Amino acid sequence: MIRAGQGPSDGRPLAVYSKENGAYQLQGIDARASALGLTLAMSLADARAMQPKLEAVEADPEEDARALDNIAAWCERFTPIVVVDPPEGLFLDISGCAHLFGGEEKLRAEIVTRLQAQGFASRAAIAPTPGAAWAFARYRREPSPPQGGGGEDLAEALAALPVDALRLDPNAAALLRRLGLKTIGQILHAPRSSFTARAGENAMLRLDQALGRTREALTPRRPAPPVFALRRFLEPVFTADAVLQVTQDLCGDAIEKLDVRGAGVLRAELVLFGVDGRDRVIGVNASKPLREVKPLMRLFREKLSIVGENLDAQFGFEAARLDVVRLAALNERSRQLVSVEAAAANADALSAVVDVLSSRLGAKRVVRPQLHDEHAPERVAGWRAALAENKASKPVEPPADGVQRRPVRLFSPGQQIEVMASVPDGPPIRFRWRRVMREVVRAEGPERISGDWQKRERTRDYYRVEDKQGRRYWLYREGFYGETETQPRWYVHGLFA
């Protein structure tokens, strides 16, 4: 893909070539080259012979794919459902979006004009099916597509187009032409039974798809959000306040749509489309489905306040879209809790806090404790993101005597200590940790915890010890005395408070 303005400036014709069947062929030519009589699929040698001044560039399929994807990303300001159709095509599902742009034709014209302004020549057509749109964009002379386009109109409009418009591979199209079937109309009226073999079958499928008789599933560039709301602005939006206002409007739109479905938001993404062609995506997560604008806005306000300085709205934003990426059905109970009993349900208040904290600090930094059915001290307990929908930890009662067997803080890994004196197979009498000598006055143990032999972990003997000042440590000795030549090592694994 060559952007206008990147070609030769001295008025020479330009062509792009690539290697096909062992020879260099022209894959693309500009208007000047075309006027000089060069055609596609002409060999590079012939073209050079005809036009010695030809500027020829080798095709770069990877770069082309990247450029196409960039255009696709840019097109997401018109609809969230953009399908990349390599090597040079895009499908946009504009259902429900066209009215924002003053109608289908205005939307189509806007896309073409703005791509032109960016240096990309393009053809676009709107049709009820992807197949028909593909055909019209490539093979129809007049740009304006048929309006409405019911079955009969569509068939009629397609009939005049060559069979190549059916998205067939070149061999299949050539075969049909050899059979004398040059236009879609001829296939349309020919008896179906004669098309079962060879290329015909594919042609029939493509025909049915173009006419909407068979549904065609396309995979969008990004998964289509189940619910989205899109707004575009007459004037570019610059200020944070304006962005907030727009976000609030979009949240309102989306919540309204969700309300119909009886669902709430779990993850939403705000996409801001810059006039400069760059998008910014701001995502928020909720720990339980949100069905009101206010809590959703609270999350966005928080997130926007951080990204605020990075938004770089230098040229302003021209459109914004709110995608509800994940949603969950609301049961009646959660509806009630959020709206009516919100103030009363304290635990719910804190879970709303979780959403806000997670969106600013990051989900991994806002955590709930979790106990596992494991033996090793490092694995028996951990933390998980508080946002994640998960059953709450079961309440665990402290030991009946109130004496602590496990520390409130754990070092992982344990920190090695220097044991100055100890009785074999007993606790240390003095040890040095963090350069301070500590006199042990009380000790309880050992509590033997055998390591996972599969992980080659060694057995540990744990002691709870107290020093002269009352500080309490959770120490362990790795291995036994006499087990190896070297002295067993000692570690402090945690601190009792």
Closer by beta carbon to another protein, 242 or else 495: 495
* CA dist., res. 86 & res. 167, Å (int): 12
Dihedral sign from CA coordinates of 168, 169, 173, 178: negative
Give me the 313-352 binding string for another protein, x by CB under 8 A, dash otherwise: ------------------------------x--xx-xx-x
| Cα dihedral value 199, 202, 208, 209, nearest 10 | -140
Judge whether 488 and 425 are in contact, CB under 8 Å.
Answer: no
* 183: number of Cβ within 10 Å: 15
Stretch that binds another protein, among 23-31, 172-180, 469-477, 482-490 (CB under 8 A): 469-477
470 is a contact residue toward another protein (CB under 8 A): yes
* CA dist., res. 78 & res. 342, Å (int): 38
Q: Of 227, 282, 304, 386, which one interacts with another protein (CB under 8 A)?
A: 386
Q: Of 377, 417, 431, 476, which one interacts with another protein (CB under 8 A)?
A: 377
* CA dist., res. 319 & res. 226, Å (int): 20
375 is a contact residue toward another protein (CB under 8 A): no
* CA dist., res. 316 & res. 242, Å (int): 11
Closer by beta carbon to another protein, 260 or else 436: 436
Closer by beta carbon to another protein, 347 or else 423: 347
Judge whether 489 and 419 are in contact, CB under 8 Å.
Answer: no
User: Rounded to the nearest whole angstrom, what is the least distance from the CB of residue 434 to another protein in the complex?
Assistant: 8
366 is a contact residue toward another protein (CB under 8 A): yes
Alpha carbons within 13 angstroms on the beta-carbon side of residue 379 total 9
* 307: number of Cβ within 10 Å: 14
Cβ neighbours for 248, distance < 8 A, ≥ 6 positions apart: 293, 297
Stretch that binds another protein, among 88-96, 158-166, 173-181, 401-409 (CB under 8 A): 401-409
403 is a contact residue toward another protein (CB under 8 A): yes
392 is a contact residue toward another protein (CB under 8 A): yes
Taking CA atoms, 55 is separated from 30, 116, 277, in Å, by 10, 22, 30
Q: Of 472, 479, 480, 489, which one interacts with another protein (CB under 8 A)?
A: 472
User: Rounded to the nearest whole angstrom, what is the least distance from the CB of residue 412 to another protein in the complex?
Assistant: 7
Closer by beta carbon to another protein, 253 or else 466: 466
Give me the 282-311 binding string for another protein, x by CB under 8 A, dash otherwise: ------------------------------
Stretch that binds another protein, among 57-65, 138-146, 190-198, 354-362 (CB under 8 A): 354-362
Closer by beta carbon to another protein, 19 or else 360: 360
Taking CA atoms, 412 is separated from 58, 281, 493, in Å, by 57, 36, 7
User: Rounded to the nearest whole angstrom, what is the least distance from the CB of residue 398 to another protein in the complex?
Assistant: 4
Q: Which amino acid is at 218?
A: L
Give me the 426-445 binding string for another protein, x by CB under 8 A, dash otherwise: ----------x----xxxx-
405 is a contact residue toward another protein (CB under 8 A): yes
Q: Of 369, 390, 418, 487, which one interacts with another protein (CB under 8 A)?
A: 369
400 is a contact residue toward another protein (CB under 8 A): yes
Q: Work out the burial of residue 494: count CB atoms within 10 Å of its CB; fewer than 13 is exposed, 13-18 middle, 19 or more buried.
A: buried
Enter the DSSP assignment of 98.
G
Of 239, 244, 245, the C-alpha closest to 313 is 239
Interface with another protein (CB under 8 A)? 343, 346-347, 349-350, 352-354, 356-357, 360-361, 365-371, 377, 380-383, 386, 392-412, 436, 441-444, 464-466, 468-472, 494-497
